Structure 1
């Protein structure tokens, strides 16, 4: 088994971009979802499922400089702290964020139609729904594509890692729950299956709903009453992961 794609985004909800390698820290890939978009009137992190146009944006973080590309135009600026720290709602739990001053807020407001504030996440992983690392496998993607009737790309699920599992049966990854896996120099412990929402119906580049992926999953991939796909994991030992690295199953 080996890694065929590594993906993440610095701004939660932005396009999930492939990277040749990732430094996996205690909370997941360094630079992954370290920023988020906030509805400042409601103190709530924006949800991609409610604002699918966010997938059209391509954020790139280099040091303290953020570039956001939208339809070929780029808005850039340094991440200047606004001095205000808030506790905000992220899917029913509190996350502490620091508001940032910069030119991106106007771009995101035009795109979403609501007032938006870009914010830095104070504690890594606070706006990540499950484990800091997620995986989907080639076998499960092929089986799902057959049910949908056309190719379902791994990036629809916004996983940290897409893993080629060779001849393993579709869904084999769900049996890894509780086991350690080594990939690159990192060691992960698999938590379990990842519940899914309608975001997976969206084209990962345009944000347009174009495939009935969630409905297809609901027909055969149920976990505690909801459609699931892929698995998430906690970091046991930080390390570097590079595209092509082997994934080795370890102990329970």
Structure 2
């Protein structure tokens, strides 16, 4: 039986991936996931040179009380009000879409800028939106991670792949779910294409230290694919895990059964 082994989300895009025991999912994905983004002094998200900078930074967001806590590997630990204010402004999201964001109060910009080595600030995506890259949910099988460990000759923490749902499943079982409906706890998902991987997989998901060339190992045995729906034409990379759209909202808990459904 295939089951949910681990869940993953982060309140701030590119921040340390958290592993809650239960999440609520709506049509936009895991509720509370990637509600904030980090931008530079030109209102742009950090590009390729900034990938991985905040992987080791832990963000804990309490939406009910509008507070945020930020802990950096360097020892900074700051908390404060995370209420958005002011008029919304546009932030380009990977050239795929434009996010409407608003400024956030709070004391963490100094700590984040010191960690990044450049001026940055935290902004909140407006109107309940989020900063997921392409589709709301990604699914990754534990068997696929074990295969990668054999290829790299090293232990691989699955959180490197920042998947929303880690499934206890056979090697690359998720590759065969393309186009299928998958029931995960109360949630029903429509699986789409594979997820092209980027350099963020090279960073330890806890410390943020770049320590493993995952892309080189993937290149030895994994296919390449682009983004679904014609996004970013000409872009392709090695895949691991799969994208999914949310067909039915609900809750997912660690230990829930994962069932590939026949078409209705």
- Shared fold, TM over 0.5: yes
Which residue is 2:62 aligned to?
Answer: 62
Using the alignment, how far apart are the partners of 2:130 and 2:85 within structure 1? 20
Q: Specify the SS of the correspondent of 2:77.
A: strand
Which residue is 2:232 aligned to?
Answer: none
Conserved 8 A contact 1:28-1:125: no
Q: TM-score, normalised by structure 2?
A: 0.89
**Residue 235, structure 1, aligned to residue 246, structure 2:** yes
Which residue is 2:78 aligned to?
Answer: 75
Using the alignment, how far apart are the partners of 1:229 and 1:51 within structure 2? 18
Unaligned runs of 5+ in 2: 226-235
C-alpha displacement at 1:84, in angstroms? 3.1
Which residue is 2:103 aligned to?
Answer: 99
How many residues of Structure 1 are paired with residues of Structure 2 in the alignment?
248
Which residue is 1:5 aligned to?
Answer: 6
**Residue 35, structure 1, aligned to residue 46, structure 2:** no
C-alpha displacement at 1:223, in angstroms? 2.2
Using the alignment, how far apart are the partners of 2:51 and 2:195 within structure 1? 21
Using the alignment, how far apart are the partners of 1:202 and 1:59 within structure 2? 17
Conserved 8 A contact 1:196-1:226: yes
C-alpha displacement at 1:227, in angstroms? 0.7
Unaligned runs of 5+ in 1: none
Q: Specify the SS of the correspondent of 1:54.
A: coil
Which residue is 2:45 aligned to?
Answer: 45
Using the alignment, how far apart are the partners of 2:130 and 2:9 within structure 1? 15
Using the alignment, how far apart are the partners of 2:34 and 2:56 within structure 1? 16
Higher strand share: 1
Q: Specify the SS of the correspondent of 1:221.
A: coil
Which residue is 1:158 aligned to?
Answer: 162
Using the alignment, how far apart are the partners of 1:185 and 1:209 within structure 2? 37
Using the alignment, how far apart are the partners of 1:22 and 1:104 within structure 2? 26
Of the structure 1 ranges 124-133 and 12-21, higher mean CA displacement relative to structure 2 is found in 124-133
Conserved 8 A contact 2:67-2:83: no
**Residue 215, structure 1, aligned to residue 226, structure 2:** no
Kindly provide the CA deviation profile for residues 28-87 of structure 1, in whole angstroms up to 9, marking residues without a partner as x. 11110011111131x212357624231221110112100111244421111133303111
Conserved 8 A contact 1:125-1:132: no
Conserved 8 A contact 1:48-1:199: no
C-alpha displacement at 1:172, in angstroms? 2.2
Name the CA shift for 1:47/1:207 in 2 (closer, same or farther; >3 Å).
farther
Q: TM-score, normalised by structure 1?
A: 0.93
